[in-house]
Amino acid sequence: MHFGLLIKYYKTANIVFTILMLFVILDLLFPPLEQQEYSMEILANDGTLLSAYLTDDDKWRLKTKAEEVSAELIKAIVEKEDSWFNWHFGVNPVSIFRALYKNLINGEKISGASTITMQVARLLEPKDRTYWNKIVEVFRAFQLELRYSKEEILEIYLSLLPFGGNIEGVKSASYIYFDRPPDKLSLAQSILLAVIPNDPNSLRLDRSNDEIIEKRNYWITKFKNDKLFAQLDLADALEEPVETNRSEIPTLAPHFCYFIKERFNKNKIMTKLDLSIQQTAENLLSRHVKRIFYKGITNGAVLVIDNKNSSVVGYCGSADFYDDGSFGQVNGITAIRSPGSTLKAALFAYAFDDGILTPQMKLEDIPIDYNGYQPENYDLKFYGNVSADFALVNSLNIPSVSLLRNAGSTNFINLLEGCGFEEIQKQKDKLGLSLILGGCGVSLEELTRLFSSFARKGELHPLVYDESESEFEEGTEIFSQASSYLVADILSGINRSDIVNLTNYSK
C-alpha cells in the first residue's frame, strides 16, 4: 500500500512537472507582451491635467491608475465584462462551458467567454479571431496573471479600452467626451463608458446617439434589477440626457507644456506649476500688455519661481499663445532677447563683493566718452554726483557703464558665463561696455535664475520643473550674503506703479 501511494505521488509530480515544463517552453516561444506606448501627460502640482500629447501612432492613450477612476465606473465595467475577475486565474471555465453550450444550441456564436485578462491579452496583441489565436490568448492570460497583480491588469485594461476613432482608455474618453477626469463622472456617464467598448465604431458619442442611449439604458435597468447601485441613483441615471459632443484634451499653460515635453522623456510628468499662481500671472501679463500697447509693445513673458526651492510655479511664454499677429507661440522665456538694464543689479552686487563700491559711495553721472562710446541716460538728463543705491534704483546708464569699466568687463562677463548665460558665453569675445545697457543676448529663464540668487543669500540654484528633480540641490555661491542683501534691499525700494496687486507674490 505504501508502494502504491509512492507511485501515485510520482505520477502526480510528473504531471505537475510536465505542465510546468510546457509552460516554460510556451513562455520561451511566446515572450511576455510589451505594454503599449502611452500619451505623455503633463500635470500641475495638484495633479490637474495641464495637457497631453498623441502617441507616435496618433492615439489618445492616457495611462490610467485605478485610483484615478471612480468606483462606479470600475464596478460597472467589471460587473459587465467579467464579474469573476477577482477570483479566476485569467480564464473562467464556467464562462467557457456556458458560451460553448449556448453557441452549440443556437448554431452560431451568440456568447463570448473572454475574461478581462484575456481581453487585455487581445488588446496588447491584436489578432484575427481564430481557434488557434484563442488558445494563444488563453496562454497569454495565464502569463499576464503570473506577471501582474489584479489591479495592474485592470489598469492596463482601463488604459487600452477602445472608444472609437483614436480614443483609447477611460481617461482619454472621459476628457474628450465629458471634459472631466474619470473620477468626476456621473453614474450615467460611467455606465455609458462601460458600454461603448463593445462596439466602439458604432457607439460614437460624437455621432448619433440613439443606439447609445438604448444600450446604456439596458445596462442601467439590468444593474437596477441586480441591485448593483443605489436604486435612486440608477433612476436618475435613466433620466440623464446623452449629449453628442467631443471636447479637446486640456491645453493649460501651453508654452510651459511644450517646454516640459521637450525637456523630459516620460509618460507622466508631475510638475511644480501652481495653477492659482499661473492664472494670476496670465491675468497680470495680459492686462499689463494692454496697458502699454500704446508704446508699441504687444507681447511679454512671465516666469515665477518659489525662492525657497527654485521651483517653477508660474510660466507664461507670451501674453496670448493664440495671437499669431503678436507671435504668441514664440516662447519669450527661452527666446534670446536684450536684457535691457536688468544686468545692472548683478554688476552692483559684483562691485560690492569686489570692494570697489558701497551703497552710499558717490558715482558721477556726467557726460563721458570711452573711445567714441557715449552712453546716455534714458531721460537724457545728467544728475551729477549720485549715490550708488540711487543710481541702481533709478537705473542710471552712465554710472553703470563707468562701474563696469572700473570692475573690468572681462571679469563681469566671466561671472555671467559661470551663471549659465549661454549666448553671452558664445559672444563673449565681441562684448564690451554696452552689454550692461542691453548690448547682449539673454533668456528670461537665465535672468530669473540669476535674480533668485539675491533671495537665496547669493547662491545660484538650478530651476526645478518637476517632482523628480531635487529641490535641495547644493547651489553655487556667486555673490556674498552681504552683497545679495544690499542689492535685494535696494531693489525692493522700487515702486512699480504700472504693476499692481503683487503684494502676495513679492516675498
Cell of residue 412, nine digits: 563681469
What sign does the dihedral 285-286-291-296 (CA atoms) show? positive
Whether 348 and 358 have beta carbons less than 8 Å apart is answered as no
3-state DSSP call for residue 366?
coil
pTM of the model: 0.85
Smallest CA-to-CA distance from 348 within 282, 301, 300, 415 is with 415
pLDDT of residue 506: 42
Specify the amino acid at residue 156.
I
Q: Give tens-digit pLDDT for 163-183.
A: 999 999 999 999 999 999 999
Judged on CB neighbours under 10 Å (0-12, 13-18, 19+), 309 is middle
49-53 and 362-365 as β-strands: parallel, antiparallel, unpaired? unpaired
Cell of residue 297, nine digits: 509693445
CA dihedral 259, 260, 261, 267 (to 10 degrees): -170
CATH T-level fold of 62-239: Penicillin binding protein transpeptidase fold (1.10.3810)
- pLDDT under 70: residue ranges of the chain: 1-34, 95-113, 208, 470-472, 495-507
pLDDT of residue 23: 54
pLDDT of residue 10: 53
Q: Which residues contact 381 (CB under 8 A, 6 or more apart)?
A: none
- Cα–Cα distance for residue pair 190/346, rounded to 1 Å: 57
pLDDT of residue 110: 45
Cα distances from 323 to residues 125, 261, 318, 428, in angstroms, run: 44, 22, 9, 35
pLDDT of residue 108: 52
List residues with catalytic annotation. Answer: 81, 341
- Answer CATH for 344-505 from 3.30.465.10, 1.10.10.10, 3.40.710.10, 3.50.50.60: 3.40.710.10
268-270 and 40-43 as β-strands: parallel, antiparallel, unpaired? parallel
Cell of residue 238, nine digits: 435613466
pLDDT of residue 505: 43
- Cα–Cα distance for residue pair 301/318, rounded to 1 Å: 5
- Cα–Cα distance for residue pair 270/74, rounded to 1 Å: 25
**Which stretch of DSSP H or E encloses residue 312?**
strand 311-316
Whether 271 and 46 have beta carbons less than 8 Å apart is answered as no
Which residue intervals of 243-396 are DSSP H helices? 254-263, 275-291, 344-354, 388-393
pLDDT of residue 102: 60
- Cα–Cα distance for residue pair 362/389, rounded to 1 Å: 9
pLDDT of residue 64: 96
The residues spanned by each domain of the chain are 1-26, 62-239, 344-505
For residue 87, how far is the Cα from the chain centroid? 37
pLDDT of residue 195: 95
